[in-house]
Structure formats: structure tokens, C-alpha cells
């Protein structure tokens, strides 16, 4: 059994990791930490876990995590970069679900996250944990930067087009919509049901932290600078991301449906829907799956890709476990086979 | 492997059976029927099942089900009673998720369901599939009447009190609230999001079909006529039932928390929360669990029980599979271990 | 024009007062205060009010309110009782939407609200602002205690039964359900959409602050001690309260429908629905109306009353304005004629 | 008083017209028709209208409407074009909230609506009822084609940019999101709360009927062919449209905030928010207002406009009444001053 530790077990990605790992056939949850709730029973805070996760939250101290084979950071940005070096030195593999190791450029990181990076020397080693793009490197990695939720959906949607060089990478648009769990389990007035229920709005139009991450990922694929307009929106629902992607078609005769199906044929967690489909976030709720559709409306000069994921699963905890499976040589889908909860 | 058939695979209880059985280690889904959608791929109608359930809906004909070990009816009321006799005669075990075999009294059935019962001779043999009450009979049964969703929550809540004769069974009140999936997958204006979203109302105050079913179940326990006022309500959410139960306390010194914990100590799917808890439907969403709390506010003369289930799981498909497990000598929780989807 | 001040203009009852008073033909909003947001434009915080409410939040100082004819307190409990004496002394009429003056017994107040009352000498003078019960006193009052949201719905539902002495007042049950706006505009994790969306639960079963208020109100009607079990629940919606009331029928031949229609015939804001109706909170959303239905299911010994209000209107700001109208000799429905927003 | 008739009073735009007209100071509702519900009391179907709208639905016959000054069609597409000619001939003014007179080209209409137009001779006379563009013509019109909900939001957002020729009209993108009431009050499975609740999806990517309407409107402004990709989405909420608009910036130094504020300075129902704002659909819920924001993220080459309306008010019934006010020389905002219902 793999001994797994979770730092920051009280947020939504943390509790989702617990839900997945508690049923993972090859994992034992060795430690769950929480600064604010240390000492409390895990299942007191999360009654859904009664009978599935025993024990109490502990302090996020190195000694509580040293015996782990792998430690997941489900913490706010800025935590993993302070604790990871010591863990790695102790031979523990680290999977960060936050943003600390997502950007390769420490200056860019500082610009977007507002403080100097605490261990820039690890940025080059960190592997960006998008298995559909980096599977080989992930298997060999000590340190994984799990992609953000929006970046997962947006990159999976654009990848086939950029790899095949079929669209103008200088004029991409990603209009993305997320449920409220993406904002985390934090007491904030704008996330009250009374505020976000029965309402819809965009946010961070002038610049969202996921923008440089997406651009970095797409530029690696395109091999060129990418022009991207990224507008996130808040949907009055709990789970789910829907990315609507627009790209100028360069022309030519490529069959988009074929292209997407071929690209993802061997991917367990990317599912290209039949031509003409409209993926619905409910159909991936609770599952580690991305469902995709692509079309060129009226045969025009704009390609439209629709991509849905559950932001807490393929967009966070599920993808983290998928990375862990690859790192430890397990079946990539171990612990991740559950079916979406519809309706 | 147990060969299972599902009649009526296009409703919410049908698709929930598919979700559970597709991952059940001892079951093979042999046939799924649908009168209206015969010939269509199952995963075309339900994209969440892509890669998990292959094949197409078939006509609900005996020949399509004859090779099954067990057939589940996830049909409207009145279907199972017409098809069950032939299946039973062919040696197939039958689990009805509708109401056809829930009432033992054919006249009462006719009164509430508006037509004569098609096979009253089977009513005596049919076993009411509430494992926490009838486990032994279920294991030996050929024909199971799966309890309704409200009746499951209400009976599990009242059982300990009536078994211990601590309350006046003549003055029980069950104020129950259900998500919209309880109304099924039917095109009806009152169930549109535009109608039920952001709204709350009672319905069927003058008499709901689950009333005689609950009363029958409680009277078996009490050994006496039961007086019950049952008011169901519609909650603007998809899954979940919350039953708030009120019973006049007969007096005495019994410790209610102890009573409930003792009663359900060995039940895998009934979870008595710590004293003072308020169960929340989200904590059982997608799981086969009932969570319960009990208290006597201000030490007064009214006992209040709070019971939550997922109406499609413990209130329908999950409980049906729990019954199947018992009938076939499997572990009672086989295929039913998944953890509630929170948040 | 009546010069009106609002203390605590940033909460949901405050902004609802602004919405109503901004369109009231006889009122000028003279001052809106907010301790936390003083100096900010009102319409910056509430863009729905752009063009309707000018000006900025001010500090809640006596000098900012002294010129008002009436001051509304839309503040947390404990604020009005500290500021009201000086305002009253200055000839300003005071309408408190919080709980400071709702209980006549200062000791009881201290027991439920956790601190000594700051001006117990005013409790006897304060008039409980339920116009359907106290219209005459309200018109003559200097100080109004606006009823709580649950108490409004529960009392309007029980009043006709208790006035006519048709039920056993010792065994009343009020199973009440509220939207999330009842919890106010406060940053609290349990009120996030991610927590309360798609979920339903009871709370405060062991005792809610509205219990003594309701009991006091019902006892004034019944003339006797009242036994009441009150269980509030949280509904995943923003506005609306639904009270389901149960009372033991004393017997006799009274026509309940007639009784309710007669009792409320002349009330502009209480609407008794036709026999057999199920009131729906959406039909009073945004309006100052209570809709009621009553029945005795199966002619049995339990009377069931269903009552719905918008907790922010008839349960708070609308009722406050109704009181103001009475105090100043205006038409009772001035500024309150708007129709519920359906769908 | 203006005598107004409503044909199709049982859909959501019909009941919204009733809500608005019942409180309009210059209008008397003379007749409300419904083919399916003729003979039923209006307030039986819509309890929110009790005490506000008396009378019963009548058959949609010419004789029931002949005495009206104006008739609103809140009917499915294809109804108004059959009844309008006779009404116009009788001197009745007609405002169609459906699509019958929105496209000037009868062939295009037939292509998108699937049947020949019944009165193509009226298309040239019909005035497209977007007051912010066509105020003068509306005042003089006998026949108004009320814009669709999406077209209202999209056109109001793009208008200033196209009028000032600041963007490339050949590459416009409108990513639009609507609440479920836009689909009308029809019994359809995909619109059940159980289906659309807690979910998000695009629809009609290959072509939506509002596309030619928007394109026609924008081309009138641009004076050139317009290239538009239009993707509508369904949001799990009842009311509200959010349009996120993308346009390639032609360059230059124009101040977008100034441009938008100047364009709409004198418009009562278009409200340009301060720079950097993110309009929220809740802030226009129930009001006839469009709130707009514009920016060019990171000073780049894409202009982003955010536009919100209530689809049933500014997107349908409210705009229809605004047109009526203009046609009859009333204050443009008569009956339309109500403030959005927040929260």
C-alpha cells in the first residue's frame, strides 16, 4: 500500500482527495493535516466520510508527514513551496494541487501571486501534471504541479487543434464557466447562496491567475507565442466547469471530429462525444472525465470546442490521483472508475 | 456473475440502477428495456454511462428477460404486476422498485392506485424490502417490493421508537421534503426548473400514496393501528429526502441516543449521528446511507427525529441492490460502498 | 414627505428597505448608515439601486439621524436597544427589524440573547408590529418591534385556530422552512452556495430564538400557556418561508375554510387560498403578502395549515413599512403594492 | 386608459406582461386569451396575480380583441402573423413578442422557422422594437416586432462599437448564457429541474434562430456584412441573460468607457457600469434594465463587453411595454420603474 498524506484536508480539494483515496485499492491515508482544525475528527467536519475515514486532523508538521510515500498539497497558494523541499529531501514525492509549481518562470509567478517564489530552484524539475500531454515525465517525477481547473479544461480542448496547427494561435478565446466550489471553502460574502444563487456573472476579466498557466501550456504545444483572451464566469451550481473555446480556422479540409477522436482514442479520461453533441457538466459530475465536442458552425472560419470537467475531480483531486497512479506504476485509472452522478 | 435485467431503464431509478450495477463486482447487466427508447444506445441517452454500459435499450418482452437471474422493475406503477408472474414462473427473481407489491391488501391498493391489482395472489408472497426490518425474509424471497423513498426515511426514523413503545403511535407526524428527482423523468410543467427552482411548497396534503404504505409498515411494528399525518414537500434540489418526524413521548427515562445507536449498530446503511446533530441531505448524496438524529427539544413531550436519504439510492436503486445482495447471498454492501458526493 | 433613516443599510433587510422606500410615494430616504461601509456609495455596493438611491452610507451616529421622522433598524440584535432611547427622546419614531423589543420579558430576552437588555424600561411601551393582530396599537406607537420572519408566518397561520379555540394549544407543531437570505449577509461557510446548494437540513432543533417570540404571541391570543415544537429548516433558495403547522383538532363542526377567509377578509396582505390549495413561496416572492391554506386531512384529528411569505418582505422590510404606514396615517399598502416575481 | 389585449397569456412572457400591465398607470387589461386555458380564472393558474388581475382567459378570437387599442402577442412563433392583419385592419396596434416580424426577409424567415411566412407584405412595415436604436420609428408604428432576448443583450453590447467602427465586424463572437425561463413554460424533459439544475451546457451551436436576427440588426448598424459566431448556453437559474461579447479591436486611442457612457447617457434602461465592473444578472432581475461593462483586457487586441438583462423584462415583456409607451406617447418608463429584486 502507498502511504499518502494530505496537507490541507479541510478545503474542497482536500475532502475530495479523501473521498477518492478512501476507496483507492492501493492507498492508505496515513495523515491528514489542517492548521485550523487540528485535533478534530475528520468525520465530524465531514459527516459524509463517517465510516470511511477514521482519525483526526493533525498539525501540518514535517514529522507528521515524513513516513509518507507521497504528500498531496490541497492548500492555498504559497504553502507547498515552503514545505516541499524538505519532503523531497526526505524522499517523499509531492503532488501540489495549488499553483506553486505551475509556472516555470519565477518572475512571472511573483507577478501573478504577489510574493517571491520560495524555491525557484525546483521549478525546472517540477512536472506539469497533465497526463494527456506529459505522461512520460509524470511517471518519472518527484514533484508534480497539478494543473488548475480552468487550465485542464481549456488545454484539453485546444490541444488537438494546436498540435495539428489548424488554428491561428494568436487569437484564441476561452470563455469559461465554473461552479462555486472552484472558489474553495472560504467564508466570503460573494460566494453565499444568497449572492450567487439565481445569478450569473463574469469575473477577473482584466486578468485571472489561470491565464499565464494556460498560455504557458498552449505555447509549449504551439511552439510559438499564443494570444489568448480568457474570461471566467461563475455559475450558480456547485461542481463543474464548461469551457467554450473559439479559434480562427486556418482553412483546409481536416475532419475535426476525426482529429479529436484520434488524439484522445487511448485516453481513459478524455471522451470525445459524437459530432453535434453538447457536453453537459452533469454528465461528468463526480467523475474524472473530460467530455469534449468540436464543431465549425455553418462551416465558417471559427472552430468551437466545448469541454466539460468536474473542477474538483479532473480539475483537481482526481487528476492528482491520476498523477499518483502514474508515478507509482499503478493502473492509471485505479480508484478513479466511479461513474458520474446523474441526475 | 448474476445476470440482471432492468425493465424501464430510462427513468431516474433505472439509470441509477445502471450506475450502481455497472460497477457491481458480481453482476452482469444482461438486458435493459425501454418501451419508448428501444433500439437507442443506452449511452446516447445517458452520456454519463459512456464506456460503462454498452448496448441498446430493448423492448420489454419476456424473451428479452428470460435468461436473467433477477429482473428489476424501474417502471411506473402497474407494470411489474403484469410481467412478474411469468418471470417468477420462469425462475427469475423479481425486485419491483414501483408500488405494485408494497401493499398487502389488494382492495387498499386499488383504492390508492385506481385500478384492480393484476395478481393479488402474489401479494402475500411479496416481501417488503426494508432490510433493516425484514432481512431474513428478503434472503429467502422470490419477489421483493422495494419500499418507496418517503417510506424508507420515515420508517427508519420511527422504527426504534415504536419497537420500544416509547411514543403514542396514534399521533405521529411526518413532515417530509424531497428533491425533484422523486417525481421521475417525466415532462411536466410543475417540475420545470422555472417552476420549482427558488421555490418551496407542500403537495398532496389531503393524501399521498406513500401514506398507506408507511402506515402498513409502522402498524406491523407497533402491532396496533397507527395515526399518521404525512405532508410531503418539494425542495428545489435534485436528490435527497429529509424527513422531520414528530411523536408524542409517553414519558419515562429512556436515553433516545442510546436507543437509536443500539438499534442500528449493526446496520451498514443506517448511521445514527452524534447527539445534537442535524443531518444534511448532501452528506448522503449518491450513497446508500440513511443518516439519523433524534432529540427531545427542551426535554419536552415531543420526540423529534431527523432522517435523510438519497431518494434514488437508499430510497430506490441502492436499496434494490441491497435486497439483491441479500437474495443471492452476497455481501450486503457489495457495489454499494461509494461515498457521498460532497460538496 | 416622511423623512426616513435606515440604520444598518448593508444587510439584506436594509437593502430591501431601500428597494421599497425608494419607490414609496410618501417617503424620502434621508440617511442610510453602515458602520463598515460608511463613505461608500450605496449603489456601488448595490448596483441594483443605481439611479434609484443616491448618496453614501454614513456613520450610525445620532446626529446623522436626528432630523428623521422615523428610523428603521436593520441591524444585528443588540443595536437598536442602545440607540433607540435617544432617538425617541428626540421625537423620532423607531421601527426595529431586529429582536431587541420583541420579547416583553427582559429576563427571557437575556436568556435567549445572551446579554442584559439595555433599556428594559421601553419593553412595555414597544408595540409588536403584527398589523393583523395589533393594528390599533401600532397606529399610536412610538416604538415598534417588527416580528421575526418565522414568527410572522407561524402566527398568521395559527391565529384563526387559536382565536376560535378550535385546537389544543398545548401540542402545536411548527415545521418551518426558510431560504438562505434569512441568515443575513454575513460571511459564513455554512451559507455558501457550495454548502447549502442542493441540500436540505434542519437546524436549531434544540431551541431557536424565534421560539419564545412565537410562544409569547400565541399565548396572548390563546390566553393560556402554549406548547409549541418549532423546527426550522434551511432550503436551497434565496427568499421565502414556508411554515407547515400542525394542531390537534378539538372536534366540532367548524368550517376551517370559512373561518380563515372570514378572519382575513379585510386584510390586504393575507390571502387565504381556495380549499385544497398548496401555497408556493414563489407566488409571494418580492411581495408583502402571506398566502395561506388550511385543511384537515382525511377529516382526521390534525389540522394542517400551510403559510408562505417572503422572509425579506412580509417577514421583515415590507412589514416594517406596513407598520410605518399605519403610524403615519398613510394607506396601509402605500409602497407595498408590487406583485410577486413569478417565475 | 389604453385598452390592452394579450394573446397567449399563459406563457412566461404573457404572465410577465400581466405583472407589468396590472400596475401600469395608463393601461387597462381588456382581454387575456389562451387557447388551452380558456374559461379558467387567470389567478387560478397564477396565484401571484390574485387581487391584481381579475377575470378569465378567453378564446383567442378576433371578437375578443377588437375593442383593444393594442394587442400583445406572447405566443409561439407563427401565431401573430396569422392574426395581425385583421387586427391592424381594425385599427388595433400590434406588438409581437415572438419572432414573426423580426426578420425583414421572408425567405430567410422560412429557412429558420420552417414554414412560409403568412403575411410577408407586412414585413417591410414592421418596426424592430429596440428603442435604443429605433425610437423614432417605433413611435410612429402600427406593428412592432419585439426583439428576442439574446438579440437585445447582444445588440446593446455591440452597438457602440459598431457605430463607432472600432472593431472588425467580420469576426464577432457572442457567448451568451440564459436562465431556463427563456425556454418558455412547456413540458419538456430537458428543462426539468432534475435535468438542468446543477448543470451547465451549450446548445444549438450549429445555429440558433436568434443568429439571423442579431446579424440583421448588427448589419444595419455596421452597414456591411457581419461575421458572428453565436453560442447560447443554459444556466441553472430562472431569469437572466449574460452576454459575453468579443470583438477584434481595430486599434486607435478611443476610450471605450467614454464611448459607452456617451452612447447610452440618455437611455433610461441601459446602464453602463463603472470601468472594471462585472455586471451580475441578479442586479437586473425583474427590472427593465440592461447593465453593461466594457474593457480591453491587458490593453490587447480584443474588446470584451459584458451585458446583462432579465430575459423576461428587457428581453421580452418590459421591452414590449416600453414600445407601447412610445407608440402611445406616454413616458417611456411608465409602468417600468420597478427596482431589481436583490437578493
* Residue D267 clears pLDDT 90, i.e. is over it: yes
Residue among C183, C188, C193 whose CB faces A236 most closely: C193
The reply to whether residue D197 touches residue B12, judged by beta carbons under 8 angstroms, is: no
Residue among A206, A278, A282 whose CB faces D202 most closely: A278
A211 pLDDT tier (thresholds 50, 70, 90): very high
For C20, the grid coordinates are 421599497
Chains that touch A (3 or more CB pairs under 8 A): B, C, D
The reply to whether residue B205 touches residue C231, judged by beta carbons under 8 angstroms, is: no
Question: Residue D233: what pLDDT?
Answer: 98
Residue among B12, B186, B238 whose CB faces D193 most closely: B238
Indicate the Cα dihedral angle A180, B241, C308, C9, nearest 10°.
Answer: -30
For C267, the grid coordinates are 386584510
Question: Residue C9: what pLDDT?
Answer: 84
Q: Which residue is closest to D338 within chain C, CA to CA?
A: C23
Which of C15, C194, C311 has the highest number of chain A CBs within 10 A, making it the mutation to test binding with A? C194
- A161 and A288 housed in the same domain: yes
Domain count for chain C, please give it. 2
Residue range D218-249, pLDDT digits in tens: 999 999 999 999 999 999 999 999 999 999 99
Q: Read off the CATH number of the domain in which C37 is found.
A: 3.40.50.720
Residue range A189-203, pLDDT digits in tens: 999 999 999 999 999
What is the full DSSP assignment across C86-147?
HHHHTT-EEEE-SSTTT-S-HHHHHHHHSS--S-GGGTTTPEE--HHHHHHHHHT-SEEEPP
* Residue D252 clears pLDDT 90, i.e. is over it: no
Choose among C278, C269, C264, C285: nearest CA to C306: C278
Burial string for C65-94 (b: 16+ CB within 10 Å, else e) reads: beebbbbbbbbebebbbebbbebbeeebbb
Q: For residues A211 and A218, give the distance between their C-alpha atoms in angstroms, rounded to a whole number.
A: 11
Flag whether A136 is in a domain.
no
Q: For residues D121 and D95, give the distance between their C-alpha atoms in angstroms, rounded to a whole number.
A: 17
- The arithmetic mean of pLDDT across residues B243-247, rounded, is 98
- The arithmetic mean of pLDDT across residues D206-212, rounded, is 96
Flag whether A82 is in a domain.
yes
- B165 and B254 housed in the same domain: yes
Cβ proximity of D240 and A199 under 8 Å: yes
SS3 D15: helix
Smallest CA–CA separation between C270 and chain D, in Å? 11
- The arithmetic mean of pLDDT across residues B165-185, rounded, is 97
* Residue A9 clears pLDDT 90, i.e. is over it: no
Catalytic hit among B68, B119, B146, B149: B149
Burial string for A115-151 (b: 16+ CB within 10 Å, else e) reads: eebbbeebbeebbbbbbbbbeeebbebbbbbbbbbbb
CB-side exposure of C237: number of CA atoms within 13 Å?
33
Question: Residue C113: what pLDDT?
Answer: 96
How large a percentage of chain B has pLDDT more than 70? 100
Flag whether B137 is in a domain.
no
Q: For residues D42 and D25, give the distance between their C-alpha atoms in angstroms, rounded to a whole number.
A: 20
* Residue A85 clears pLDDT 90, i.e. is over it: yes
Choose among C65, C14, C9: nearest CA to C37: C9
Flag whether A233 is in a domain.
yes
Read off the DSSP letter of residue C52. T
Smallest CA–CA separation between B76 and chain D, in Å? 16
For B191, the grid coordinates are 417540475
* Residue A174 clears pLDDT 90, i.e. is over it: yes
Question: Residue D80: what pLDDT?
Answer: 97
D61 pLDDT tier (thresholds 50, 70, 90): very high
List the beta strands (DSSP E) in chain D: 2-7, 27-33, 70-73, 93-96, 127-128, 143-145, 172-178, 201-202, 228-234, 241-248, 270-272, 290-295, 302-309
Q: For residues A338 and A326, give the distance between their C-alpha atoms in angstroms, rounded to a whole number.
A: 18
Cβ proximity of C190 and C221 under 8 Å: no
Choose among B326, B140, B342, B308: nearest CA to B334: B326
- A116 and A167 housed in the same domain: no
Cβ proximity of C142 and C125 under 8 Å: yes
What is the full DSSP assignment across B75-91?
S-TTSHHHHHHHHHHTT
Active site residues of C: 149
Question: Residue B266: what pLDDT?
Answer: 98
- B197 and B64 housed in the same domain: no
- C158 and C107 housed in the same domain: no
The reply to whether residue D271 touches residue C238, judged by beta carbons under 8 angstroms, is: no
Strand partners, B175: B231, B244
- C181 and C294 housed in the same domain: yes
Asked if B280 reaches chain A (Cβ–Cβ under 8 Å), the answer is: yes
Mean per-residue pLDDT of chain C: 97
Query: Which residue reads 397606529 in cell numbers?
Result: C139
Flag whether C256 is in a domain.
yes
- B194 and B274 housed in the same domain: yes
Residue range C107-123, pLDDT digits in tens: 999 999 999 999 999 99
Smallest CA–CA separation between D197 and chain B, in Å? 7
Burial string for D101-116 (b: 16+ CB within 10 Å, else e) reads: bbbeebeebeebbeee
Q: For residues C336 and C325, give the distance between their C-alpha atoms in angstroms, rounded to a whole number.
A: 10
- A111 and A245 housed in the same domain: no
Asked if B242 reaches chain C (Cβ–Cβ under 8 Å), the answer is: yes
Q: Which helix (H) or strand (E) holds B103?
A: none
List the beta strands (DSSP E) in A112-213: 127-128, 143-145, 172-178, 201-202
- A47 and A166 housed in the same domain: no
Choose among A137, A143, A72, A133: nearest CA to A102: A143
- A113 and A197 housed in the same domain: no
Helices (H), A186-244: 193-196, 210-222
Mean per-residue pLDDT of chain A: 97
Choose among A134, A102, A136, A138: nearest CA to A117: A102
- C111 and C157 housed in the same domain: no
What is the full DSSP assignment across A225-239?
---EEEEEEE-SSSS
What is the full DSSP assignment across B261-321?
HHHHTT-TTEEEPPTT---BGGGGTTSS-EEEEEE-GGG-SEEEEEEEE-TTIIIIIHHHH
- Which residues fall within 8 angstroms of residue A161, CB to CB, at 6 or more apart? A167, A247, A259, A303, A305
SS3 D64: helix
Residue among B200, B205, B239 whose CB faces C235 most closely: B200
- The arithmetic mean of pLDDT across residues C70-94, rounded, is 97
Choose among D258, D243, D231, D229: nearest CA to D166: D258
Phi, psi of C223 (to 5 degrees): 75, 15
Flag whether A335 is in a domain.
no
* Residue B174 clears pLDDT 90, i.e. is over it: yes
The reply to whether residue D198 touches residue A279, judged by beta carbons under 8 angstroms, is: no
- A67 and A214 housed in the same domain: no
Query: Which residue reads 493502473 in cell numbers?
Result: A331
Question: Which contacts qualify for B186-189: CB closer than 8 Å, 24 or more apart?
Answer: B186/D189, B187/D187, B187/D188, B187/D189, B187/D192, B188/D187, B188/D192, B189/D185, B189/D186, B189/D187
Cβ proximity of C273 and D48 under 8 Å: no
Q: Read off the CATH number of the domain in which A302 is found.
A: 3.30.360.10
Q: For residues D57 and B155, give the distance between their C-alpha atoms in angstroms, rounded to a whole number.
A: 45
A114 pLDDT tier (thresholds 50, 70, 90): very high
Q: What distances in angstroms separate CA A165 from CA A162, A168, A223, A252, one per listed residue? A: 5, 8, 10, 11
* Residue A253 clears pLDDT 90, i.e. is over it: no
Flag whether D297 is in a domain.
yes
D62 pLDDT tier (thresholds 50, 70, 90): confident
How large a percentage of chain A has pLDDT more than 70? 100
Q: For residues D310 and D318, give the distance between their C-alpha atoms in angstroms, rounded to a whole number.
A: 9
Smallest CA–CA separation between C122 and chain D, in Å? 33
Maximal C-alpha separation, chain A: 62
Cβ proximity of B283 and B184 under 8 Å: no
Burial class (CB in 10 A: 0-12, 13-18, 19+), C282: buried
All residues of chain D having their beta carbon less than 8 Å from the beta carbon of residue C274 are: 44
Q: For residues D240 and D242, give the distance between their C-alpha atoms in angstroms, rounded to a whole number.
A: 7
Strand partners, A8: none
Q: What distances in angstroms separate CA C52 from CA C18, C70, C333, one per listed residue? A: 9, 20, 20
Q: For residues A232 and A211, give the distance between their C-alpha atoms in angstroms, rounded to a whole number.
A: 10
A22 pLDDT tier (thresholds 50, 70, 90): very high
Flag whether C87 is in a domain.
yes
Q: For residues A48 and A51, give the distance between their C-alpha atoms in angstroms, rounded to a whole number.
A: 9
SS3 D222: helix
> What value of ipTM does the predicted structure carry?
0.97
Q: Give residue A154's Cα distance to chain centre.
A: 11
All residues of chain C having their beta carbon less than 8 Å from the beta carbon of residue B282 are: 195, 198-199
Indicate the Cα dihedral angle B188, B190, B192, B194, nearest 10°.
Answer: 150
Q: For residues A262 and A264, give the distance between their C-alpha atoms in angstroms, rounded to a whole number.
A: 6
Choose among B267, B51, B288, B283: nearest CA to A19: B283
Asked if B191 reaches chain C (Cβ–Cβ under 8 Å), the answer is: no
Question: Which contacts qualify for D56-63: CB closer than 8 Å, 24 or more apart?
Answer: D57/D9, D57/D10, D57/D32, D57/D33, D58/D31, D58/D32, D58/D33, D58/D34, D59/D33, D59/D35, D60/D7, D60/D8, D60/D33, D60/D34, D60/D35, D61/D33, D62/D86, D62/D87, D62/D90
Cis bond leading into A224, ω under 30°? no
All residues of chain B having their beta carbon less than 8 Å from the beta carbon of residue A19 are: 339, 341-342
Question: Residue B114: what pLDDT?
Answer: 96
Question: Residue A151: what pLDDT?
Answer: 98
Where in the sequence is the domain holding D210, given as residue range(s)?
Answer: 150-310
Mean per-residue pLDDT of chain D: 97
Question: Residue B79: what pLDDT?
Answer: 96
Amino acid at each position: 500500500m502507498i502511504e499518502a498524506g494530505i496537507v490541507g484536508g479541510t478545503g474542497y480539494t482536500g475532502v475530495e482527495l479523501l473521498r477518492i483515496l478512501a476507496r483507492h485499492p492501493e492507498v492508505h491515508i496515513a495523515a491528514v493535516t489542517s492548521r485550523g482544525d487540528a485535533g478534530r475528527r475528520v468525520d465530524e467536519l465531514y459527516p459524509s466520510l463517517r465510516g470511511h475515514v477514521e482519525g483526526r486532523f493533525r498539525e501540518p508538521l514535517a514529522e507528521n508527514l515524513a513516513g509518507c510515500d507521497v504528500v498531496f498539497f490541497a492548500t492555498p497558494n504559497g504553502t507547498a513551496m515552503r514545505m516541499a523541499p524538505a519532503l523531497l529531501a526526505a524522499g517523499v514525492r509531492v503532488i501540489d494541487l495549488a499553483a506553486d509549481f505551475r509556472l516555470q518562470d519565477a518572475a512571472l509567478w511573483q507577478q501573478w501571486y504577489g510574493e517571491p517564489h520560495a524555491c525557484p530552484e525546483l521549478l525546472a524539475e517540477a512536472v506539469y501534471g497533465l497526463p494527456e500531454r506529459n505522461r512520460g515525465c509524470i511517471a518519472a517525477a518527484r514533484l508534480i504541479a497539478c494543473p488548475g481547473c480552468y487550465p485542464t479544461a481549456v488545454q484539453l480542448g485546444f490541444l488537438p487543434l494546436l498540435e495539428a496547427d489548424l488554428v491561428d494561435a494568436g487569437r484564441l478565446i476561452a470563455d469559461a464557466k465554473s461552479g462555486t466550489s472552484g472558489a474553495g471553502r472560504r467564508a466570503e460574502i460573494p460566494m453565499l447562496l444568497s449572492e450567487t444563487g439565481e445569478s450569473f456573472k463574469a469575473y477577473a476579466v482584466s486578468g485571472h491567475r489561470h491565464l499565464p498557466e494556460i498560455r504557458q501550456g498552449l505555447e509549449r504545444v504551439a511552439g510559438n507565442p499564443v494570444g489568448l483572451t480568457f474570461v471566467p464566469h461563475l455559475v450558480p451550481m456547485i461542481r463543474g466547469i464548461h469551457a467554450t473555446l473559439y479559434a480562427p480556422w486556418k482553412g483546409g479540409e481536416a475532419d475535426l471530429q476525426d482529429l479529436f477522436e484520434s488524439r484522445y482514442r487511448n485516453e481513459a479520461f478524455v471522451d470525445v462525444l459524437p459530432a453535434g453533441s453538447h457536453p453537459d457538466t452533469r454528465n461528468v459530475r463526480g467523475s474524472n472525465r473530460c467530455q469534449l465536442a468540436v464543431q465549425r458552425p455553418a462551416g465558417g472560419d471559427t472552430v468551437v470546442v466545448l469541454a466539460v470537467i468536474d473542477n474538483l475531480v479532473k480539475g483537481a483531486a482526481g487528476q492528482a490521483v491520476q498523477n499518483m497512479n502514474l508515478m507509482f506504476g499503478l493502473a492509471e485509472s485505479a480508484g478513479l472508475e466511479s461513474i458520474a452522478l446523474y441526475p
